Amino acid sequence: MGSVHVQTMSKQYEVRIDTGLRHQVGALLKELLQPVSSVLIVTDSNVAPFYLKDVIQSFDESAVVYDYVIESGEASKSFSVYEQLLTKALEVGLDRKSAVIALGGGVVGDLAGFVAATYMRGIRFVQMPTTLLAHDSSVGGKVAINHRLGKNMVGSFHQPEAVLYDTDCLMSLPEEEWKSGFAEVIKHGFIRDEAFLKQLEKEWTSFKTISVERLNDMLARSISVKADVVSEDEQEHGIRAHLNFGHTLGHAIEAQLGYGKITHGEAVAIGMLFALRLSEEMLNVNFHIEQYENWFLQLGYRTKIPASLNRERLLQTMSKDKKVEAGTIRMVLLKRLGEATIVNIPPEKIRVLLDERMEGAHG
Amino acid sequence: MGSVHVQTMSKQYEVRIDTGLRHQVGALLKELLQPVSSVLIVTDSNVAPFYLKDVIQSFDESAVVYDYVIESGEASKSFSVYEQLLTKALEVGLDRKSAVIALGGGVVGDLAGFVAATYMRGIRFVQMPTTLLAHDSSVGGKVAINHRLGKNMVGSFHQPEAVLYDTDCLMSLPEEEWKSGFAEVIKHGFIRDEAFLKQLEKEWTSFKTISVERLNDMLARSISVKADVVSEDEQEHGIRAHLNFGHTLGHAIEAQLGYGKITHGEAVAIGMLFALRLSEEMLNVNFHIEQYENWFLQLGYRTKIPASLNRERLLQTMSKDKKVEAGTIRMVLLKRLGEATIVNIPPEKIRVLLDERMEGAHG
């Protein structure tokens, strides 16, 4: 079992990491959320058949527990599903002492968290991530829905009361999901914890055989990095932007391919290698990128920009990233392993390296 | 000119009260919001013809200024208008350094404020109230939209960067609007400032002739009470609930008559007299209610519960008020003039006094 403490301006809370936590939710919430008048569990059509019943049964008979199952997938982070959830909350009579439980991956966490952030101007919520990728999104209080003109464009900062991470849920995930989530783990090493990065390189060369101990340890350490960053900068006025390492190009690749055509983590992996190369060019360092590229390939990642993508369109999306003010291309680079920095890059530099990192460019 | 300072946990800001402020918005924002990349003015179809042009022209040519005019009226505090505004914000490219200006009454302030609270997880906004009632809603950071199952059920706490109150806008308001807003002014006297209440009784016996000096002074003092309460309790965990004085019955009257059939202030006036009577019964005090009833009548208020309303339905709504936890009827009463307190009331007590305060009950 692991535990990470998160301390922000607006709230402090604990991330518990352990097998079988889903069977203890009722008891844990009694301890963490007293008093709670009623609970709404939000989950999706993939997760519900496996874990919803366990969570419901963890409450004793006096508890008032409702649930709502959304369709799995990014399309549920919509205005209409958001409104449906608020309607459900009103119909069952959630009040200011109620809580929302987000049982699922990032989509469920973001959506249910935004419902909790805005229902009656904010009620409490608890994150129960069921994917590896959600180890990242469930910590830090960023909640949002999508707009057809942009992902996560409508949302809040609303910290959970607790994150309960039942690692049993990860064991049955397909390899694609491991790959997608593990890129964020590696990112945490790159931007803030070199020793952790080295350990990952040594211990994680495949997702085929994973021990619970190694998994819990890895999650606790990865979440610690996220928690530290969020503690220093809850609302992304400064160093929280370092978490975007690999994401400026990553988002552009996802957007141009169409969301869902490549996993988030795979796009971020390509973006991180690009950002390492750019760091070498801009900051006069040498990261021996071949070594990381080989590791990524061993883990099954693509490492180059898909050849079907258009360079100028990638560049345009990168410069319109919502983290970027009008015109300039600000990117997170590494000064050295474990230390990130933000640099304004001339588009010309980026063009050259986009070409270099295209599939087939060296081959 | 008046000025009130608001200091909350999350932000401090100034409420400026003066004639002609709408002509100075551009210059004031340069001072208050540096840097601001672009501005979206949200206003409604009643206000736009009178003041929108003045506000736009107050900016110099280098400023990037957009505007969006909603239909006036409570129906605009809907999910669909909320989404339309977010679409507008994305289409014109508002970014994290942009600001929203809410030019109008409570509907515009609540809606535009909620857009600002959730666009890209929160951008800055400025309140420009144009009604007397909005002197109350524009200060304190409560923003929201309505759901068909309840008013203000979806929202946030999001403090403005500033409140710019151009009192020219009030001079042309119809008497109904004065009556509606003035009830909140009186409320501020009742719950926290007896001397202010006495002054109001003496100086305000009609809305026919109003001097700018008297108006500015009254607004500054009324807003000071609101600012003090909000400063002590931004998110309504405690004494902010005192602002609900007169509102538990007031809301029930509005809900049962149908919103728009009676002004908010008129319903609150009836609610305040009811709460005074209930205070006498519960707290062993004597407020000489006839004196307030006569003053209210002189100002043109109704003072009794409309005879068409059903007592049990009022009671039910009062006990389901969202400020109330399951079952109990918590109401704000006065221990003495200028000092509020919260009391749990047995429904039976309320029944008796509802009967007493019905139109026609005393002949």
**Residue tagged 């014109």 (tokens):** B92
pLDDT for position B362: 61
Give the chain B residue whose CA is nearest to the CA of A79.
B83
Cβ contacts of B210 within 8 Å, gap of 6 or more:
B171
Q: Is residue A363 part of a domain?
A: no
Residue B88 has pLDDT above 50, yes or no: yes
Is residue A361 included in any domain, yes or no? no
Q: Per residue of chain A (363 residues), what is the pLDDT tens digit?
A: 789 999 998 899 999 999 999 999 999 999 999 899 999 999 999 999 999 999 999 999 999 999 999 999 999 999 999 999 999 999 999 999 999 999 999 999 999 999 999 999 999 999 999 999 999 999 999 999 999 998 999 999 999 999 999 999 999 899 999 999 999 999 999 999 999 999 999 999 999 888 889 999 999 999 999 999 999 999 988 999 999 999 999 999 999 998 778 999 999 999 999 999 999 999 999 999 999 999 999 999 999 999 999 999 999 899 865 443 445 789 999 999 999 999 999 888 999 999 999 998 864
Burial (CB count <10 Å: 0-12, 13-18, 19+), residue A62? exposed
Residue B345: inside a domain, yes or no?
Answer: yes
Identify whether residues B255 and B193 lie together within a single domain. yes
How is residue A81 written in tokens? 């599903």
| Residue A183 within a domain | yes
Residue A325 and residue A205 in one domain: yes
Question: Helix, strand, coil % (nearest 5) of chain B?
Answer: 50, 20, 30
**Angle at alpha carbon of residue B123, lines to B122 and B125, rounded to 5°:** 120
Q: For residues A4 and A9, what is the distance between their CA atoms, to the nearest angstrom?
A: 17
Question: A307 CB near a chain B CB, below 8 Å?
Answer: no
Domain boundary among A171, A199, A216: A171
Q: Which residues of chain B make contact with A234, given a CB cutoff of 8 A?
A: none
A43: exposed, middle or buried (Cβ count in 10 Å: 0-12, 13-18, 19+): buried
Boundary-marking domain end, from B132, B148, B171:
B171
User: Which residue among the candidates B244, B254, B266, B357 is catalytic per the annotation?
Assistant: B244
Answer yes or no: do B121 and A322 touch at CB < 8 A. no
Q: How many domains does chain B have?
A: 2
| Active-site residue identified among B161, B184, B254, B266 | B184
Q: Is residue B130 domain-resident? A: yes
- Examine the pLDDT at B292 and tell me if it is beyond 60: yes
Q: Are residues A167 and A183 in the same domain?
A: no
**pLDDT at residue B327 in the model:** 58
Whether residue A160 is found in the same domain as residue A205: no
Of B171, B187, B203, at which residue does a domain stop? B171
Q: Does A322 touch chain B (CB under 8 A)?
A: yes
- Do residue A305 and residue A242 come from a single domain? yes
Q: At residue B62, what is the residue type?
A: S
Q: Which chain B residues touch A141 with a CB distance below 8 Å?
A: none
Q: How far is CA A253 from CA A266, A302, B97, in A?
A: 10, 12, 26
Residue B326 is nearest to which of A37, A121, A155, comparing CB atoms? A37
Query: Does residue B130 have a known ligand-binding role?
Result: yes
Residue with tokens 């101990």: A213
* Same-domain status, B115 and B30: yes
Instruction: Looking at the structure, tell me whether residues B144 and B264 fall in a common domain.
Output: no
Nearest chain B CA: its distance from A327 CA (Å): 12
Please, are residues B18 and B79 in contact by the beta-carbon 8 Å criterion?
Answer: no
Q: Do B214 and B234 belong together in one domain?
A: yes
Contacts of B118 in chain A (CB under 8 A): 118, 154-156
CA–CA separation, B130 and B171 (whole Å): 10
pLDDT at site B324:
40
ipTM: 0.93
Residue type at B283?
L
Tokens matching residue A308: 């079907």
Active-site residue, A194 included: no
CATH number (domain holding residue A104)? 3.40.50.1970
Q: Across all residues in chain B, what is the average pLDDT?
A: 94
Whether B95 sits inside 8 A of A122 (CB atoms) is no
CA distance B244 to chain A (A): 16
Q: How many Å lie between the alpha carbon of B19 and the closest alpha carbon of chain A?
A: 33
* Single-letter amino acid code for the residue at A300: G
CATH code at position A254:
1.20.1090.10
**pLDDT at residue A210, as a whole number:** 84
Chain A residue closest in CA terms to B98: A325
Asked if the C-beta of B156 comes within 8 angstroms of chain A's C-beta atoms, the answer is yes
Tell me if chain A has a CB within 8 Å of the CB of B90.
yes
| Phi, then psi, of B142 in degrees rounded to 5 | -80, 120
Nearest-Å Rg of the Cα atoms of chain B is 20
Q: Is residue A231 part of a domain?
A: yes
B125 phi, psi to nearest 5 deg: -150, 160
Asked if B122 and A87 come within 8 Å (Cβ–Cβ), the reply is no
Tell whether A238 lies on the interface with B, counting CB pairs under 8 A.
no
Residue A319: the pLDDT is: 87
The Cβ of residue B264 has, within 10 Å, a number of other Cβ atoms equal to 24
Shortest Cα–Cα distance, B60 to chain A (Å):
20
Residue type, B65: V
Residues 6 or more apart whose CB falls under 8 angstroms from that of B115 comprise B42, B82, B85, B86, B89, B100
Residue of B nearest to A92 (CA): B149
Same domain, B231 and B339: yes
- Domain boundaries, position A223: 175-356
Do B142 and B290 reside in the same domain of the chain?
A: no
Higher pLDDT pick, B317 / B245: B245
* Angle between helix B264-283 and B175-192 (nearest 10): 30
- State the Rg of chain A over Cα: 20
Q: Are residues B183 and B109 in the same domain?
A: no
Cα B220 to the center of its chain, rounded Å? 15
CA distances from B65 to A230, B112, B129 (A): 33, 15, 19
Residues A192, A104: contact at Cβ < 8 Å? no
- Is residue B58 marked as binding? no
Instruction: Based on the fold, state whether residues A272 and A339 are members of the same structural domain.
Output: yes
- Position B363 in a domain: no
Assess whether pLDDT exceeds 90 at residue B258.
no
